[in-house]
Every structure is written in structure tokens, then in C-alpha cells.
Structure 1
Amino acid sequence: MRILRSIIYVLIVLMATPFLLVHYGPSGVATTSKVALNALFGYGGDEPSADIVRQQLDVADGFRLDLYATGLGKIRFMYATEAGDILVSRPRSGEVLILKADANRDGSPDDVSVLLSDLTRPHGIDYLNGWLYVAESNAVGRIAFDAVSGRVSGVYTRVVTGLGDKGNHWTKTLRAGSDGWLYLSSGSTCNVCEEEDPQRASVMRFKPDGSELSIYATGLRNSVGLDWAPWSNELFGTDNGRDLLGDDFPPCELNNIVEGGFYGWPYINTSTLDPDYGDKLPKDSPENLLPAHEFKAHNAPLGIRFLRHSAVAGFERSALVALHGSWNRSVPDGYKVVVLKWQPDGTIIESDFVSGFLQNGNLLGRPVDVTEARDGTIYISDDYSGSIYRVLPDDGLESSFTLPAAVQQVDADVGVLDGYDEQKRASLAAQGAQLYQQFNCAACHQPASRMALKTLGERYNAASLADFFSAPTPPMPAFPLSAEQREAMAVYLFDQELKAAH
């Protein structure tokens, strides 16, 4: 399958190369062709390693980032349950996955399985009053869901049917509002046109049982992300601007979506009449509402999430937005997660939150959605490599490779390796020595700076030190170690300490 995929990729690139050279130049061919294949056919990149993620991705001050899961396929939107599980949609396979919370603290979900299947291109997911709602491309369904156990029960039932999913922008995004309604976005069928189906290029809403479906706002070309500002309960939505008007126009948008609001498409781009459809603007058209914020053209803002549980100072009135990245600019742009910070005067300042997905023509991933767990942990989905990244608050300790004291007091009368027989201890110590060399630990723990590795037995036992390696204090990296490997590292370090003492 990998060979066939590569052959198909090469053939398509060869056929498209003349077009790409004319429009994007030699430097843009490789990246642009990969992104176009991802957008059109679902072609993705290789699964990244934890090392590459740590080396290539930068995260805002006050946070640290790691690779939480990969190999998940063409994943899209997420929902974090109260138990810390992550639900994620996989439209091309018709499934919703559940990633069980990292209870054993090894840096990855405890289990990944299919929660729902046989769906029609599921995309948006949300939870309301004991029901899990799924926005398929042509319907909205729901099923009883226990958010604590992560189990569904009963029969999956479609409460809204007959939604249009032909043409472009077939995804549907779903968010539950505090007013008891569910809000549903539906993108346009085209780049720019006058729609025959009034539900397209809109945001709709309906009651939890599927009744009273109505159009809430219009003129929204492709509002993939929806969320409410927690301090004002205003609804905001990202919107992708049209193509084929050059590198830098029109900007993509963040809109404050209000009932009855009209946001311009296809007749107006922000405040400028469209060159193709501006003269077709109906005389009785509602007032065009301007964006609350403008993103760069073709950056493709998708998921948006207002932070509600962050303990990091300066993020109290903030939202994270996933920029999927351009496929139609001469110089590719986007491919990152940005933070929008609301100022006291209502203006919004944008800055990078996670960047580095695209470097020197090498594409690591394309962010799609952002969700936040109740403990403040942030998750970012990537449909290019099939990965989920986890962002945690940095603990703020001094930036040296010192090992903090263990949570539990170590019994000074019990030797740290007394629980191992000689053969087991030797075997684990040998394995730990190999790992110590493999990850070049000596580069930071040179003899002159080995105080951090001394007196470990006064603060740790083998189990607590192994547990420390699963989430070490920055800047020490979290190496991709199994439980046995973490134990081997702990035994090796204790073994070296005991030998040095004698």
C-alpha cells in the first residue's frame, strides 16, 4: 500500500508540476503539491517521532508540548470528556475514535479504539445532557454516552437529516450552546457562487431532539470552527476566505456570529466588493458585518477553542485557533496554532502558540482542531500525519537538569535496589546503560554537573524515579521510553550511584 501510494503521488505531482512551477516557483512545488494532495485526496505525511516533534515544534512560553498519539489516520475534530478521554472524528473511515486518558502517565493514551462506526463522513462532535452528538456530512446523529466511563449505549439515531453535502466544504461542525440549542455550520459548495441551497455557507441551529432547525447566520463561506467567549457568551466562528484573488487577498476571518447576521460571501470580502459577484449583491441584502479579526489570506483557520481552565498567566481572555495552512500561495503560510488575546478595548492581538510545522520546505503536520481538558491540558489534532499533540503548563522550575524530590518520602532504611535479585539488577542496569548512551544523557550530565544524579536514593526509589521519567521536569526531554525502559534507566542510575559510593 505504501508503494502504491508513493507511485500515485509521483504521477500526480508530475502531471501538476507545470502548473505549480508557473504559479508557485521551484521552491513551492514540493510543499504545495503535498498540501494539495492532502486537501483533495487525503494524502498524508509520515508519522512523526517524539524526537522530531520536540526538535521542530515551538510552543509559547509557559507551556511544553509533546506527541500524544500518532498513526490515527485522517482525524479531524475532537472533544475532551470529563474523564480526560479524547474523542476524535475520522471522516474518511466513517468513525469516531476514543483515546482513553493517560492514567498510567506514560505520555500516551492508555487505549485507542473505535467508539462509533458506519457513519457518513463524521466531523464535528459535542456532548449535551448525556448525549453524544455527531455532525455527519448529511445529518446529525446522537447516542447516549457516559462521559465518565467513556461508553455509549442504546441506538445511534439521526435527529437531523437531509443536509446537503455535495461539492466543496462538505464538513459540518457542531457545538452545543449554553442556551440549550446546538449550532451547526455548513460550508459552501464552491469557491465563489450563489448557492441554491440556503443552508450552505451558513450557521444553523436546532433543539437537542433535532426540532426547529433554522438558519442562524449567512454569508459564511466555510466557518469550520465555532466557540463561545466565556466572559461574554458571544459566539465566534472562523471563516475561510475565497481563492484565486492572489497571495494576500482576501483575508480569512474570525466573526462574531449573531442571529440574523450576514457576513458578505459571495458578494463581499471583508469590506471589498468581490470582483466576480460584487455587482450581483441584492439591493435588499442585510448589512455586511465586518470580521472581529482578520487572519492572513489562505491560512485556513479551522478549530477555535476559548481557554477556560488555563493556569498560565496572560491567557485569561484567550482563544487558540488551528491554522491548517495554505495550499494556494506562492510562499506557503499558516501551518501553526495561534493564540488570540482579547484586550480591554475589545481589540484582538494574534501571536504564535505552536509553530514549526513547516520548516525549509519540510512539512510535519497541518493543525485542524484544538480542545481543552478540565485540568487545562490542551490537545491539537493534525490530519496530515494523523497525530494528536498535547500541551501542558510548564512547571516553571529552574531550567537545569536537577531532579526534584519525589512526592513520597523514601524509607532511608530500605536500599533502593533491595527488591531486585542480582541477575535482574544486572540485566536492567545493562539495558539502562544502553539507553543512557542512546539518548546521549552524558551530554547534559557531565562530571562537573552530576550533582543532580547524586544522592538519588535519598529522594527516590526505583518506582518513583521511573515514574519521573514519564514526565520529567523541563528542560529535560521526555524520551519515548516504555515502562520497562524507564525502570531500566532508574536501576542503572542507582547502580552507578551505589558503585561510586563504594
Structure 2
Amino acid sequence: MEFLARATGVVGGAVARLRRIGTPARQAIGANPQIPQARPQGIMTLKMPVAQGWTDGRLPICAPGLRVAAFAADLDHPRWIEVLPNGDVLVAESKERPAPPRTLMDRAAQATMRRVKAIGDSANRVTLLRDADGDGVAEIRTVFVQDQNQPFGMALIGDRFFLGNTDGIVAFRYEAGATSLAGQGQGLIGFKPHGHWTRSLIASPDGARLYAGVGSLTNIADQGMEAEEGRAAIWELDIATGKARIFASGLRNAVGMAWEPVRGTLWTVVNERDGLGDETPPDYLTQVRDGGFYGWPYSYWGKVVDDRVAQDPALVARAITPDYALGGHTASLGLCWMPAGTLPGFGDGMVIGQHGSWNRARLSGYKLIFVPFADGAPSGPPRDILTGFLSDDERIAYGRPVGVAIGPDRRSLLMADDVGDVIWRVSGA
């Protein structure tokens, strides 16, 4: 396996270097991005920096006026964060456990992912962190929930705690201040595992409904649409009745979700398809419309047809163009609404944790960014909050951003770093 990973790295590096010729000079970003014409890749560009972690006192680089420090360290692949009303911080520690490989490309990709610590044995737990003295560092750590199946998204509604495992949503009874939960939870709805395995959750503002992001199994329905049934969608679960339905579809891998408070709309970040070029198509941030279809796998950025896929013209005709492009293959995963005043110098907007690319000749993402909002919509170019997760030569990843949340003090940001095994806290300098 190690030999295959090294061989893949050599071949992938050579392919990436060749494909740097003619790569776009600008990222496809904003409400009206310049998206290059598709250039289908016979051999996928596979470029992954080696996961090293933070050593010798190295830290992420902050935007001016900010500082960063570890809220908690020595975790096991922390992916997602939920802050409870009492200030406790929950962290889902989990890792992809891939399905058996079907092709040589699958084997090569999995070998590479293992080498960079992206897949492997999963801790399968949620850890509770408590900063009782308010100094910005968690001094209490307990196992909140364990023995789950690749847990990810979390939500608390009243006295019920909901957890998104890769194979479905489970619910537990919760008492304020509890540092652990009993039992395995009550199963509410099942999802197909594997592929894009994360299951993010968010409750509606009134607590009546729960939304779950369920990504596709494959890149472009490579195993047929039957295998993708119920996937590439955001689901809605009615808490009172237990009834579930697909709320929006055609979303290849919708991960983070957040409510925009001015118009009361649900927003998400979506990881788009691979194999068409460095900036084609871009990942995106978009509001989620009830019953909306967003193109996957037939088209992207609205009605731009992907001719690698057997077409459905009726679905393409109703495909919604996303609101805001985030650049190609940034792997934008984390998302939270940040009110003005949370960090000095930042107004209202969305914070996005960009895990970082692999299907590019020049890497993208690997940073924490802010998209300003006005009147319920994006209102300008993105701003960096944290950078410095990659070495200058793009060979080493010190960390990779994932989930984000507003800190318990409402004057800081928390960000999960699944390579550094750290929860970072960003605040005013």
C-alpha cells in the first residue's frame, strides 16, 4: 500500500506539473465567476501534501488584528464542532472508512489518502470540552458519546441531542450540564454510508425541523443513479412526526449549513465534481431553496452541461445557479454565520473552513475565510482569517480546516483542524 501511495505521488506530481501549463491565473470566485471551459482529465490530477501537523511552535497565520491559540489539542481527527447553550464545546472525532476499492484509481486514491491521514481507523466519538475559567483554553475533557459510526453533525433541540452518523441520525436524551450521554441513541432515519460520508446537521430556528446534508456516493454518478438514490441532497426531518423528505437535491456534497438571520434562509457550502480542471467547476456557497435542484450530476453552475454524464434535459432546465463561487476544489466544509462584532474589523457574514484541494495542479483552499453579507446576500470578495496551513512548496500540510463555530463567549471563532488534531480559537489580538 505504501509503495502504491509513493508511486501515485510520483505519477500524480508529474501530471500536476504538466497541467500547470495553461492553468487559470484567477480563481473562480464571487457571484459572477469566470469559469474556464471544461478540460476533461484522462488521468485525474491527484496532488496531496503530506500531513505533518504543527511542530516547533508553528501556528496558523492570522489576519491583522487577530490572534490564534489552541483551545484544545491532542485530539483524534477532529472534524465538527457544536457549542451548547451552557458553553460546552462538542467535537466529533471521526475519519473516513472507505468502501472496498473497485478500480486501480480507487486503490491509488485510498493509498494516498491513508498516507496523508485522511482515511483509516475512526475514533467514532464525540468529546466534550469545557473552559470553566473562561481563559480560552479547555481544561475539562470527557467522552460525551462513543461507539458511533463515523459521527459528524450535531444539534441540540430542547432536551434531545441529535447526532449525524454516516448511516443515519440518532437521538439521545440530554440534561443541561451533562458531560456524557447514556446508550446508543434512538435511530430516526437511515442513510447510505460510504462515498461522501459526512452527515452535517442543523436545526430550524424554531426547533421544529432538522436538516441533514448527505453527499453523493461517487464523483458523477459513476455507478449509476440507482446507487445515488437519496444522496446528493439536503434532507428535512420533522421532529414531531418523524417524517423525512428531500428538501433540496442535485447538491454533490453539501456539508456545512447555516441560517442567515436577515431573510431567515438556509445556506450551505457544496463541494463540486472533479476531473474538469483546476477551476472547473468551482465549489460554492448558496442559499437552499425548498424543492430546489442544483444540477448534479448533469450540469454545474446552473445549466452548464457535463457531457461525461448521460443527460436529463428536464432536470438541467430547472437547475439553480448557485449564489457565490468559492474557487475550484477548495473543499469548503465548515460554515457558520458570524455576526458583526464577533471579531474586530469584521462585519456580518459567513465563515468557511476550506479543507483544501487534491484535484488541482496548484493547490487551493487550506484556509479559513470570511464572506461579507449585506441585506441577506454576499456583498464582496472573501477575506482570509487564517492561512499558513501549507508549506510554500505545497508538499506539507501543517493542518487542514474543517468545522467552524462561534465560541461560547461570542467574541471568538473555533475551528477544527483534523491534521493538526487541534481546535483553534481565533479572537481579537
* Number of the residue aligned with 2:9: 17
* Number of the residue aligned with 1:63: 66
Structure 2 residue identity aligned to 1:262:
F
Q: Which of 98, 103, 106 lines up with 2:133 in the alignment?
A: 103
Where do 1:203-242 residues align within 5 Å? 203-208=234-239, 211-242=242-273
Q: Deviation at 1:171?
A: 1.4
* Number of the residue aligned with 2:407: 373
* Number of the residue aligned with 2:114: none
SS of the counterpart of 1:161? Answer: strand
Q: Which of 203, 208, 211 lines up with 1:176 in the alignment?
A: 203
The answer to which structure has the higher helix fraction is: 1
Asked if the contact 1:303–1:369 (Cα under 8 Å) also holds between the matched residues in 2, the reply is yes
Q: Deviation at 1:45?
A: 2.9
SS of the counterpart of 1:188? Answer: coil
Asked if the contact 1:144–1:152 (Cα under 8 Å) also holds between the matched residues in 2, the reply is no
Q: Deviations over 1:224-263 (max 9, x none)?
A: 1111012221100000010011112110011110110010
Structure 2 residue identity aligned to 1:15:
A
Q: Deviations over 1:126-157 (max 9, x none)?
A: 1111221100011111112234x243455442
Q: TM-score, normalised by structure 2?
A: 0.80
SS of the counterpart of 1:291? Answer: coil
Asked if the contact 2:53–2:397 (Cα under 8 Å) also holds between the matched residues in 1, the reply is no
Does residue 361 of structure 2 align to residue 327 of structure 1?
no
Asked if the contact 1:146–1:152 (Cα under 8 Å) also holds between the matched residues in 2, the reply is no
Structure 2 residue identity aligned to 1:87:
L
Structure 2 residue identity aligned to 1:386:
D
Structure 2 residue identity aligned to 1:384:
V
Q: Deviation at 1:282?
A: 3.8
Does residue 391 of structure 2 align to residue 391 of structure 1?
no
Structure 2 residue identity aligned to 1:391:
V
Q: Which of 88, 92, 106 lines up with 2:91 in the alignment?
A: 88
Where do 1:226-305 residues align within 5 Å? 226-271=257-302, 272-277=304-309, 280-283=311-314, 287-305=318-336
Cα 1:209–1:121, aligned 2, differ >3 Å: closer, same or farther? farther
Asked if the contact 1:218–1:261 (Cα under 8 Å) also holds between the matched residues in 2, the reply is yes
SS of the counterpart of 1:358? Answer: coil
Q: TM-score, normalised by structure 1?
A: 0.69
* Number of the residue aligned with 1:358: 390
SS of the counterpart of 1:82? Answer: coil
Structure 1 residue identity aligned to 2:407:
A
Asked if the contact 2:371–2:378 (Cα under 8 Å) also holds between the matched residues in 1, the reply is no
Structure 1 residue identity aligned to 2:387:
S
Cα 1:150–1:379, aligned 2, differ >3 Å: closer, same or farther? farther
In the TM superposition, structure 1's runs of 4+ consecutive aligned residues that sit over 6 Å from their partners are none
Cα 1:203–1:389, aligned 2, differ >3 Å: closer, same or farther? same
Structure 2 residue identity aligned to 1:363:
A
SS of the counterpart of 2:328? Answer: coil
Q: Deviation at 1:115?
A: 1.0
Q: Deviations over 1:408-435 (max 9, x none)?
A: xxxxxxxxxxxxxxxxxxxxxxxxxxxx
Asked if the contact 1:188–1:195 (Cα under 8 Å) also holds between the matched residues in 2, the reply is no
SS of the counterpart of 2:171? Answer: strand
Cα 1:96–1:273, aligned 2, differ >3 Å: closer, same or farther? same
Cα 1:345–1:153, aligned 2, differ >3 Å: closer, same or farther? closer
* Number of the residue aligned with 1:121: 150
Cα 1:264–1:151, aligned 2, differ >3 Å: closer, same or farther? same
- What is the alpha-carbon distance in structure 2 between the residues aligned to residue 58 and residue 14 of structure 1? 30
- What is the alpha-carbon distance in structure 2 between the residues aligned to residue 325 and residue 375 of structure 1? 28
Asked if the contact 2:261–2:376 (Cα under 8 Å) also holds between the matched residues in 1, the reply is no
Structure 2 residue identity aligned to 1:182:
L
Structure 2 residue identity aligned to 1:46:
G
Does residue 351 of structure 2 align to residue 317 of structure 1?
no
* Number of the residue aligned with 1:441: none
Quick check: 356-365 or 322-331, which moved more?
A: 356-365
- What is the alpha-carbon distance in structure 1 between the residues aligned to residue 325 and residue 289 of structure 2? 18
Cα 1:355–1:47, aligned 2, differ >3 Å: closer, same or farther? closer
Q: Which of 21, 45, 49 lines up with 2:52 in the alignment?
A: 45
- What is the alpha-carbon distance in structure 2 between the residues aligned to residue 259 and residue 73 of structure 1? 36
Structure 1 residue identity aligned to 2:173:
A
Q: Deviations over 1:424-464 (max 9, x none)?
A: xxxxxxxxxxxxxxxxxxxxxxxxxxxxxxxxxxxxxxxxx
Where do 1:463-474 residues align within 5 Å? none
SS of the counterpart of 1:14? Answer: helix
Cα 1:102–1:365, aligned 2, differ >3 Å: closer, same or farther? farther
- What is the alpha-carbon distance in structure 2 between the residues aligned to residue 344 and residue 230 of structure 1? 10
Q: Which of 218, 228, 232 lines up with 1:190 in the alignment?
A: 218
- What is the alpha-carbon distance in structure 2 between the residues aligned to residue 373 and residue 309 of structure 1? 14
- What is the alpha-carbon distance in structure 1 between the residues aligned to residue 281 and residue 78 of structure 2? 28
Asked if the contact 1:81–1:373 (Cα under 8 Å) also holds between the matched residues in 2, the reply is no
Structure 1 residue identity aligned to 2:414:
Y
Q: Deviation at 1:61?
A: 3.2
CA RMSD of aligned residues (A): 2.4
Asked if the contact 1:262–1:286 (Cα under 8 Å) also holds between the matched residues in 2, the reply is no
* Number of the residue aligned with 1:151: 179
* Number of the residue aligned with 1:492: none
SS of the counterpart of 2:8? Answer: helix
Q: Deviation at 1:163?
A: 1.1
- What is the alpha-carbon distance in structure 1 between the residues aligned to residue 189 and residue 376 of structure 2? 42
The answer to which structure has the higher strand fraction is: 2
Q: Deviation at 1:59?
A: 1.9
- Count how many residue pairs are aligned between Structure 1 and Structure 2: 368
Gaps of 5+ in 1: 1-7, 36-43, 395-502
Structure 2 residue identity aligned to 1:97:
T
- What is the alpha-carbon distance in structure 2 between the residues aligned to residue 244 and residue 61 of structure 1? 36
SS of the counterpart of 1:172? Answer: coil
> Identity of paired residues, percent?
26
- What is the alpha-carbon distance in structure 2 between the residues aligned to residue 226 and residue 16 of structure 1? 34
Q: Deviation at 1:71?
A: 1.6
- What is the alpha-carbon distance in structure 1 between the residues aligned to residue 346 and residue 368 of structure 2? 14
Q: Deviation at 1:26?
A: 9.8
Q: Select the structure with the greater relative contact order (CA < 8 A; seq sep ≥ 6).
A: 2
Q: Deviation at 1:104?
A: 6.5
Asked if the contact 2:145–2:181 (Cα under 8 Å) also holds between the matched residues in 1, the reply is no
